[in-house]
Amino acid sequence: MSERKVVTRMAPSPTGKFHIGSARTALFSYLYAKANNGKFILRIEDTDKERSKKEFEENIFDSFDWLGLKYDGPYRQSERTEIYKEQIQKLLDSGNAYISKEEAKEEGQRGEVIRFKNPNTKIKFEDKILGDIEFETSDLGDFVIAKDLDTPLYHLTVVVDDGLMKVSHVIRAQEHISNTPRQILILEALGFQRPIYAHIPLVLAPDKTKMSKRHGAVALLDYKEAGYFPEAIINFLAFMGWNPGTEQEIFTIEELAKEFSLEKVQKGGAVFNVDKLNWFNKQYLNKKSKEEIIAGIKHYVKMPEEMLDRAWSTLIERIHKFSDLKDENLTYYNSTPIYDVKDLIWKNSDEYQTKTYLEDSIKILEDSSFSSMEDIKNSIWNYAEEKGRGDVLWPIRFALSGLAKSPDPFTLAFILGKVETIERLRNAHKKISEMIK
RNA sequence: GGCUCUAUCGUCUAACGGUUAGGACGGGUCCUUCUCAAGGAUCAAAUCGGAGUUCGAUUCUCCGUAGAGUCACCA
């Protein structure tokens, strides 16, 4: 019984961009196959000629590539018409299906379709995740399995393909659970071996309903665009509805493939929590090499190479993902900040003191080495301690960034470089001098 | 509405029928600190309700309640 080689599959239809929820289903299928030394198949379910689009098929491939999920295939149902035809004929011949004359109620409907002859029985199956499930098939009626011999429909094609491709475990989203009895009926009529079913819980939006376009970003590749790392997405997705039973949270896909089991998959749906995703992404961001980080930053920030070399580690301190850089006010790195002179003065300080501190600071920094942030800090720290850290440091930092919130003055000075730093400080000094007279 | 499924902190989740119900995200407070971020410490926060089984139910059973999915000549 357990002799069967593990074969799982993901069977998306190219009728829209590949969904983040589908990505998780694919991941679970993939992981289960890997965990059991099995095979993972990608099958494009494009029997609906009206709605299937090549661009969406591409989107599916790009999605798998981005996540790094290797698969067997891809197979396309649109290329397997002859196979289905043969199976439909078998069903017709055995009396399990029949050609039904119909009244076309809607435009495009046929006057003749092929229906499955429902034996009206009770179908029981054991779902690996949900447990025993029972359906009365009588309320399904004689459902349509093909428009004609050359135009098979979903239920038929899934069963035929899963049967012929020797799929051992059908791991799919819970929304498919009510399709299962129909498919078991066809499968039995065709004499295929029954796969093990595992219906994984849905990915939910914050309102607890199935995630859809109206909830925001649902296409997997939207997350690529937003600057998330595929490793972070995988790690996050794996933890929606599954957990290792330990307190380890960071997993590479290889580690996941080792640990994954259907027994630990949750029964109920899981709400998609962007904050947690961001946290995962940050974990991976912190592990990236300097080169990778610089490359990522370049997509969102224009900065001289040499300056970027000093700024990269500071830039990622305040973000979870690269695209967050868009929301950061970073213009002060490239252009002289514009600000109100009065903002140069720290809390209880005044313009006279601030002017003096600026003057002294400029002198100190002119003699300082700028080869590291520490050098800069060391040169001015004692003076700041003596006069009051806020009184000295705030004007410097403000003169450099023009912002109430920014990295510390030493870091800023280091990134901007000596020439630019001194110039901005002189500028500030000039402004405050003018204010006084 | 029919059918099917689900139910532990706000969210993701852990807990052989016996735990002060644990962890993570997020949040609060404190420390650090010129600001922000980061970091460290710390706190708050949950077993849907009612019966039953049991010496003992988060855990098993039943009934409620709530939520979800699905009901195509789509997949």
The bases of strand B with some atom under 7 A from any protein CB are 2-8, 10-15, 23-26, 33-38, 67-75
3-state class of A112 per DSSP?
Answer: strand
Distance CA A190, CA A94 (A): 9
> Which nucleotide lies closest to A147 by the C1' atom and the CA atom?
B73
Q: Which helix (DSSP H) or strand (DSSP E) does residue A356 occupy? A: helix A351-367
Distance CA A44, CA A22 (A): 13
- Please compute the mean of the pLDDT values over residues A230-247 and round it to a whole number: 95
Encode pLDDT of A324-377 as tens digits: 998 878 888 888 899 888 898 888 888 888 889 999 999 999 998 898 899 999
CA of A269 to C1' of B40 (A): 36
- Please compute the mean of the pLDDT values over residues A218-237 and round it to a whole number: 95
CA of A87 to C1' of B35 (A): 72
Distance CA A145, CA A140 (A): 13
Distance CA A256, CA A244 (A): 9
Per the rule left: phi > 0, alpha: psi between -120 and 50, beta: everything else, A241 is left
Encode pLDDT of A362-414 as tens digits: 999 999 889 889 999 999 998 999 888 999 999 999 999 999 999 999 999 99
Buried-state track A330-344, b at ≥16 Cβ within 10 A, e below 16: bebbeeebebebeeb
Encode pLDDT of A252-282 as tens digits: 999 999 999 999 999 999 999 999 999 999 9
CA of A407 to C1' of B37 (A): 8
Distance CA A300, CA A295 (A): 10
Encode pLDDT of A187-214 as tens digits: 999 999 999 999 999 999 999 999 988 8
Q: What's the ipTM? A: 0.95
Encode pLDDT of A82-108 as tens digits: 999 999 999 999 999 999 988 877 777
**A1 pLDDT higher than 60:** no
CA quadruple A420, A425, A429, A434: dihedral, nearest 10: 50
Question: What is the pTM for the complete model shown?
Answer: 0.93
Asked whether the CA dihedral A79, A85, A90, A96 is positive or negative, the reply is positive
**Residue (of A219, A220, A179, A215) closest to A197 by Cα position:** A179
> Which nucleotide lies closest to A239 by the C1' atom and the CA atom?
B12
Catalytic residue IDs of A: 213
Encode pLDDT of A21-45 as tens digits: 999 999 999 999 999 999 999 999 9
Distance CA A174, CA A133 (A): 12
